[in-house]
Structure formats: C-alpha cells, structure tokens
Amino acid sequence: METFLLVLELIGTVSFAASGALKGIKKGMDLLGVCVLGVVTACGGGVLRDCIIGAVPPVMFREPVYALTAIGVSLVVFFPAVHRLMERHTHGYEAFMLIFDSVGLGVFATAGVSAAMAAGYGNNFFFVLFLGTITGVGGGVLRDVLSNSLPYIFTKHFYACAAMIGAALCALLWPYLGQRASMIAGAAVVFLLRLLAAKYRWKLPRAKK
Amino acid sequence: METFLLVLELIGTVSFAASGALKGIKKGMDLLGVCVLGVVTACGGGVLRDCIIGAVPPVMFREPVYALTAIGVSLVVFFPAVHRLMERHTHGYEAFMLIFDSVGLGVFATAGVSAAMAAGYGNNFFFVLFLGTITGVGGGVLRDVLSNSLPYIFTKHFYACAAMIGAALCALLWPYLGQRASMIAGAAVVFLLRLLAAKYRWKLPRAKK
Amino acid sequence: METFLLVLELIGTVSFAASGALKGIKKGMDLLGVCVLGVVTACGGGVLRDCIIGAVPPVMFREPVYALTAIGVSLVVFFPAVHRLMERHTHGYEAFMLIFDSVGLGVFATAGVSAAMAAGYGNNFFFVLFLGTITGVGGGVLRDVLSNSLPYIFTKHFYACAAMIGAALCALLWPYLGQRASMIAGAAVVFLLRLLAAKYRWKLPRAKK
C-alpha cells in the first residue's frame, strides 16, 4: 500500500513540477526561480495541508524524495530542447499545462483525502473535503501568487470544482472500497472532468457586472 | 456568552464574505472563484491567527458554520440583481466595501483579542494586539494577494490603524469590563474610526519620493 | 553566546526592515504600510520557519525586540531626508537594497541553520538547508508578494543561491567550529558572494523561450 501511494504521489509531483517550471520559464525566471517554482507547485499544497493539521515538519521535509524529484524535473524542463519539444507536441503551453496539471490535481486531491483520513478526521466530511481540495489546488495557487499572476483556479476550466468532486467521491467511497480503489476512482474522475471541461468548454458562470 | 460571540462573528463573516465576493466579481472571476474569495476574506484572518498560536485545526474547520455562511453570502452576492442593487443603494462599490469591511474589521479584531485571551496570552500585550490586528486584517490581505492587487490596507483610509486601536482598547478594557463589553467597545470604536476617517478623509502620511 | 546571536540578528533586522520600508515607499504606501512591510521583511522569514517546525508562537512574538526594532527603523527610513540621503550616498535604490539585503540575508540564513540545529534537526541536512534558506529569503518573498511584485529572488543576482551556499557551509562547519564561528563564516560567505555576483554580474542562466 505504501508503494502504491508513493508511486501515485511521484506521478503527481512530476506533473506539478513540470507545470511550475514551465510557468517560471514563461515569466522569464532564472534557473533557481524555475526550480523553486517547480518545488512550490509540487509540494506547496501538501505543506499548506500539513500546517493546517499541525503535522509538522511537513512531509516534504521528512521525505526529501518529493522535493528532489521536483528539482530534477525542473532541471530537465529547463533545457530549451525539452520545453520546446513538450510545447510543440502538445499544441502549446496551454494544452501541456492542462494534461500535467490534471494528473497532478487528481493525485494530490485524493492524497489529501488520504492524509486527512490517516490523521483521524474521517468523521468531519467538510474538513476532509477541504484538505483534499487544498492539497490539490494549493501548490498551483502558490505558483501563481509567487509569479505575480491572478490564480488560474479562480478563472478557468472548472479547475477546483473537479478537485472537489474527486475528493468528495474518494471520501465517500473510502469506507466501502478502501484506500487504493477510492483514490484511483477519485483521481480518475478529476482527470476526466478536467479533460471533458476543456474539450466541451464547460465553464462556471461569471457574474455580469 | 458563547451565543453572543457566535452572533458577533456571524455578522463579521457576512460582512467580509460580501466584500470578498464583490472583489471576485470585480476581477471577473467565475462562481467558484467568487465563493473562494468570499470564504478566504471571511475566514482567512482566523486561520492565520490559529496557525500562529498553534491552535490546529483552525476554528473554521472545527466549526463549519462560518465557511458555510460565507459560501451562502457569496452565492447571494453573485446574483447580478443583488450586487447591482447593493452598489446602487450605497453609492457604488467603494462605499459598500467601506461599510461591510468596517463591521467585519471591528468584529474580527476583537474576536482575535478574545482568542488570544482564551489561549492564555493575556500577559503579552504586544502579542494580543498583533493577534487582534491580524485576525481583523488578515482575510482582507489574503483577498487582495489572491486577486493580484496591492493590499488595500497598505494604502487606504486608516484601515489597519483602526483595527489596532480597537484591539488595543478591547485588550485594555478586558480586565475591567469583561469579554462582552470590551468586545462591543472595541468593535464600535473600529467602526466609528473607519467611518470618520472616510468622511473627513483622514490619511496617514505618505513618504515623499 | 546568546548576546552574540542577538547582536547578529538585530543587524539583520535593521537591514531587512530598511529594505522593506524602502520598497513600501517606492510603492507609494502610507506610514502604516511602510512599517508593516518593514516588519514583514525583517520577521517574515523567521515566522515561516517557526510555523514549519511547529515552534509556535513564533519567536517574533515571544521576543518583541525584533518587531519593535523593525518598526523603529521603518519610521526613521520614512523621513524623506533619511531615505533620500541613503539613496544618494549609495548610488540609488538598487545599490542600497543590495548592501542591506546582503547583510540581512547572511545573518538570517545562518540564524535559520542555528534554529534548525537547536530544534534537533541536525541529522537532516536537507531540512537544515531549507530552514536556513527560507529564514533568509522568506521575508523578502513576503515583502514582494505583499507589494504585488514578482519576487526579486526569482530573477536577480544569484540571490537565493548565495543564501543556500552560506547555509550549507554553516551547517557543514557546525560540528567542527561550533555555533559562533560557523555562523560568522556562513554569513560572511553570503555577503561576499552577493557583492561579487553584483560586481561581476554573475547570473544564473535563464531559459530561452
């Protein structure tokens, strides 16, 4: 079970680190800025979650593998050959961000639910849902705040909704299906919802001013 | 006494959530962004305070009533009929922000003092003052950072000063008048100072460059 | 030894508070905004560090001397005569920021290592390095986020690299030289690296888009 969780979280880490590093490149940051943005995007949601539940030091410091993976990914993405290739083969920056961000979002939202369950908050559905969502979207919000942008999640593509729906599904299935199947189901739903939302241009309504 | 505190905090929650939701609407966010900004503005100061004193999970997660109230207010404000009406009857966005923000500011600044006293920091005046102020202004700062704006409190209207003066008054009166009267006095002073500051255009000096 | 650490940290506090206050002045903030930015820059890195290791309330609230020093410095810098003089005699804002920021950076990066050692994390080099770096750069990042700027450390002058190298050196020398000599060596290296980087225009590579 531990191995399963580790593999899933490493996939999410790679995805989010790549999206953070690309954002740093787009903003003209130097090598260090690109690496920091990769690490913040990949590990930031978990750090927020761990500070909120008082699980200190946060897991990213107890298990350096996540931060080191994020640094490695950022270094690879930094090569012009790599990030140009990624962009060309996925029809540009937006499409690439979509795919990687969606995988990471699903993995981390359900990993947040898992951490909430492990910390004994299974009887507080509202809190479990919040921890799942913030683990999923927190890194991206920090990425956007640190690169002086309006956070992506507030304006685009049904983003945080997908994380909330997946986290809720994962939490609801948990007592019946156990950790592994609930997490896979939740993460898959997040990924599918995001792709469907992008393809059919689902949007949440905006207020008319 | 508990009921008294609850009523006061719900008034503050409604006020701050409305100011956050309006900001989200002004920035062109979608429904979810508007709700998140409402919740962050209403509950963010308390979360910062609770993380700083190590009272985890923060009260917003132990008592979902505040976040649910903030979501409800955000949904109501989201209707064009509602936010247009609010703006028309209060001479525009700025005036509306002023009134609601001032009520919330007074309530939360004194609620922060109350939380500091309950946590046993009554003998550290500096810390009590800080916790009151950050509970009052923290949500608004997070609102502005998340909507990619220069924080309102740094540039306008005597804002954080009013919170500090009210929190200090509340802390000083506490041993003599008890919780209820000190909080009412502190919150009322914050509200009055803010309105006076707006009416007579009190300003803190700015540095000449 | 306590006195030694206090003196070093007060030097760092003065340096960082001055850089934060100058930034606030540059952004057109009022007196309170300038003071808040001074305090955040001087104390923010330590607050982040203390929240991450669960040492609450953070040291800035247990020892008001740092925040009070930062407020005092901000008030002095606020006088037009003072901040104009500072800028004239150091060839402008950028040069002044460089010197003060570099002193503060060295002091706080090594103070972060010292706090990590005191909290018993000496056997986790990765975490010690992170705590040193975030204590050094965290206040500046908060300063830039709160003044709605792209964080300085992501784009300029080898900044966070110098902090990491100094923190690493301090941590590596610690078992051999003890606290005082390791901290002086680490802080001096940070300061020198920053000045050399500025003089010879060392830059980290940026990605070609």
Out of B121, B130, B160, whose CB is closest to C32? Answer: B160
Interface contact C32-B208, CB threshold 8 A: no
Lowest model confidence (mean pLDDT) among A128-132, A188-192, C31-35, C83-87: C83-87
The pLDDT assigned to C109 comes to: 96
Residue C39 exposed, middle or buried by CB count within 10 Å (0-12, 13-18, 19+): buried
The Cα A161–Cα A196 span in angstroms is 13
pLDDT band, very low/low/confident/very high, at A93 (cuts 50, 70, 90): low
Nearest-Cα distance to chain B for A101, in Å, is 18
Out of A31, A32, A61, whose CB is closest to C127? Answer: A61
Could you tell me if A148 and B148 are in contact, meaning their C-beta atoms sit under 8 angstroms apart? yes
Nearest-Cα distance to chain A for C128, in Å, is 9
Q: Which residues contact C114 (CB under 8 A, 6 or more apart)?
A: C5, C170, C179, C183
Percent of chain C scored above 70 by pLDDT?
92
C-alpha atoms less than 13 angstroms from C-alpha of A74 in its C-beta half-sphere? 29
Lowest model confidence (mean pLDDT) among A45-54, B100-109, B128-137, B172-181: B100-109
As a whole number, mean pLDDT of residues C108-122 equals: 94
Helices A92-118 and A125-146 meet at what angle, rounded to 10? 140
Over residues C180-191, the pLDDT tens digits come to: 999 999 999 999
Q: Is A174 on the interface with B (CB under 8 A)?
A: no
Lowest model confidence (mean pLDDT) among B92-101, B153-162, C76-85: B92-101
Could you tell me if C135 and C46 are in contact, meaning their C-beta atoms sit under 8 angstroms apart? yes
Over residues C138-189, the pLDDT tens digits come to: 999 999 999 988 887 777 667 889 999 999 999 999 999 999 999 999 999 9
Over residues B110-154, the pLDDT tens digits come to: 999 999 999 999 999 999 999 999 999 999 999 999 999 888 778
The pLDDT assigned to B171 comes to: 97
The one-letter amino acid at A19? S
Output DSSP code: residue C1: -
The Cα B53–Cα C54 span in angstroms is 10
The pLDDT assigned to B26 comes to: 87
Prediction pTM value: 0.88
The pLDDT assigned to B37 comes to: 94
Query: Which comes out higher in pLDDT, residue C193 or A159?
Result: C193
Could you tell me if A204 and B32 are in contact, meaning their C-beta atoms sit under 8 angstroms apart? yes
The Cα A199–Cα A208 span in angstroms is 24
Could you tell me if A11 and A107 are in contact, meaning their C-beta atoms sit under 8 angstroms apart? yes
The pLDDT assigned to C209 comes to: 59
Could you tell me if A12 and A108 are in contact, meaning their C-beta atoms sit under 8 angstroms apart? yes
Q: Which residues contact C185 (CB under 8 A, 6 or more apart)?
A: C169, C170, C173, C177
Residue C71, sorted as left (phi over 0), alpha (psi -120 to 50) or beta, turns out to be alpha
Over residues B186-205, the pLDDT tens digits come to: 999 999 998 898 888 887 78
Beta carbons within 10 angstroms of residue C25's beta carbon: 23
CA B125 to chain centre: 21
Could you tell me if C152 and C140 are in contact, meaning their C-beta atoms sit under 8 angstroms apart? yes
Interface contact A51-C53, CB threshold 8 A: no
Over residues C38-73, the pLDDT tens digits come to: 999 999 999 999 999 988 889 898 889 999 999 999
